[in-house]
Amino acid sequence: MLKHNLCGVLLGLLASTSAFADKKPNVVILYSDDAGYADFGFQPNCVEDMKKLTPHIDSIAKEGARFSNAYMSGCVCSPSRAGLMTGRYQQRFGYDNNLPPGSKGGLDLNETFGVKHLKGLGYKTGLVGKWHLGYQPQFHPNKRGFDWFYGLLQGSRGYFPYDKPSAHRVIQENGEATKEIGYVTDRFGDAACQFIKEHKDEPFYLFVSFTSPHGPLQPKPEDLKRLEHITEKKRKNYAGLVLSLDDNVGKILKEIDQAGIKDNTIVIYTNDNGGQTALGADNTPLKGKKGTIWEGGTRVPFAVRWPHKIKPGSVVDQPVISLDILPSVVEAAGDQIPADWKLDGRSFLPLATGKEASLPTRTLHWRKDGSKGPISIREGKWKLIHNRGEAGAKPELYDLSKDISESTDVSSANPEIMAQLTAKMKAWESQMTEPLWGPNSVGKESKPEKKKRKK
């Protein structure tokens, strides 16, 4: 009897594995906002006061892979999302800078979102949380490939209910305003769980764009009671937002488990840009913060879980960038992006799954504020950065394999490397356009009309 029962169990497991083998994997991207590089327990340099506060986010790295050299293509919220959604450097279509509140512009309608390709492969697509890629109807998430949108159009809002929220800060569902109830991070976690529950029997792509821990620093009072070890007020309030973030990540992971789809679901956790140290984030050991193109402005925590495909506890050291997420997801779905999309990213699946120890070295680029603003390039261990627009700024070179903190400029000792990287930087920038809004922009919104003073 025992032998027959054991055989039955084994056959059941094999049947389950076989069933998943024939299905496209679900994809859940958990995207936090302005979090510090050192503020998660899975990071080897996690600061002491945060080490035990993110167990659910940490579990993604523990059960999958941690990427030690992961970047966003932007150093502020809106551009980083534009690059991730399209798989292309956002500077190609004038998106160097944050989209201003109330703007008439948005992500170029000639650019294609990756979710549109996934829809063609049979995926249901959902976006929960922050959008920040256009406020006018033609830029709405439902028009860019998302079947379901539950979130806000603007880049930030308060965490507690408003009396009268603006049209771009109210939490909407597919264009219809919802009631102002509950704590925002909890609402996004609950909405993500709802989407998973409703689509567990079909392939789905879910992008959960939390506003936490972006300001304002408004943690739940009950979360502050869990942070008695932190005495500095700003840091404590920031940590409270991270606590709520992790609680809701845990809620989403539990829903995936209960739905019976864990083995066939890719979960990616990362953050939209470097931590905002002015509001309590810690980017140790990186130099800089959100809004800069130092490592502290673009390097981010990054972890990926895919059971039976990615070895638990593995580490990927080769540099990756947010532009790589789109081609990686499409490859996991068994397809390729059409060549005429001209993506700048490439799939990191060979690295994550251990099929390849490394991929060909490539250059990675960053720029803010157009051709007169800061610019940088990384190739292998070398990073060249020129903070154009700052008084006395000159090109600087850093060996990131020895100097992750960008503390020692080695440009004078490496003139050949400087010349090579400078040439590649110029060639890349020659393909980019000037920003359509913000500093050094050339669009219609670059010079807003001044209101006439009443005499």
Query: Do both 56 and 127 map to the same domain?
Result: yes
Minimal CA–CA distance to 292: which of 406, 454, 200, 443? Answer: 406
Parent domain of 373: 363-429
Inside any domain, residue 12:
no
Residue with tokens 């094999």: 14
Q: Do 208 and 142 share a structural domain? A: yes
| Residue 324 sits in the same domain as residue 385 | no
Number of compact structural domains in the chain: 2
User: Catalytic: 140?
Assistant: no
Q: Is residue 380 one of the residues assigned to a domain?
A: yes
Q: Which two tokens stand for residue 312?
A: 């638990």
What DSSP line would sit under 153-212, residue for residue?
Answer: SSS---SSPPSS--TTTS-EETTEE----S-HHHHHHHHHHHHHHHHTTS-EEEEEE--T
217 and 134, same structural domain?
Answer: yes
Does 61 map to a domain?
yes
Q: Which of 46, 56, 75, 77 is catalytic?
A: 77
Q: Is residue 132 part of a domain?
A: yes
- pLDDT score at 338: 86
How far, in Å, CA of 432 to CA of 430, rounded? 6
279 in a structural domain: yes
Residues 175 and 39 in one domain: yes
Q: Which helix (H) or strand (E) holds 415?
A: helix 415-429
Query: What pLDDT is recorded for position 129?
Result: 98
**Do 234 and 280 touch, CB atoms closer than 8 A?**
yes
Instruction: Show pLDDT as tens, one digit a residue, over the chain (455 residues).
Output: 444 444 444 444 444 444 555 689 999 999 999 999 999 999 999 999 999 999 999 999 999 999 999 999 999 999 999 999 999 999 999 999 999 999 999 999 999 999 999 999 999 999 999 999 999 999 999 999 999 999 999 999 999 999 999 999 999 999 999 999 999 999 999 999 999 999 999 999 999 999 999 999 999 999 999 999 999 999 999 999 999 999 999 999 999 999 999 999 999 999 999 999 999 999 999 999 999 999 999 999 999 999 999 999 999 999 999 999 999 999 999 998 888 889 999 999 999 999 999 999 999 999 999 999 999 999 999 999 999 999 999 999 999 999 999 999 999 999 999 999 999 999 999 999 999 999 999 976 644 334 333 33
Q: What pLDDT is recorded for position 397?
A: 99
225 part of a folded domain: yes
Considering the domain architecture, whether residues 75 and 187 belong to the same structural domain is answered as yes
In a domain, 2, yes or no: no
Do 376 and 341 lie in one domain? The reply is: no
Same domain, 298 and 425: no
Which candidate in 132, 140, 199, 365 is catalytic? Answer: 132
Pair 259, 294 in one domain: yes
Is-catalytic flag, 132? Answer: yes
Are 292 and 170 found together in one domain? yes
- Strands (E) located in 243-371: 265-271, 302-305, 314-316, 320-321, 363-367
Q: Are 262 and 390 members of one domain?
A: no
Same-domain pairing of 277 and 404:
no
Cα–Cα distance list, 162 to 150, 157, 184 (Å): 17, 9, 11
The CATH number linked to 413 is 3.30.1120.10
441, part of any domain: no
Q: What is the CATH number of the domain that holds 97?
A: 3.40.720.10
Distance CA 292, CA 388 (A): 12
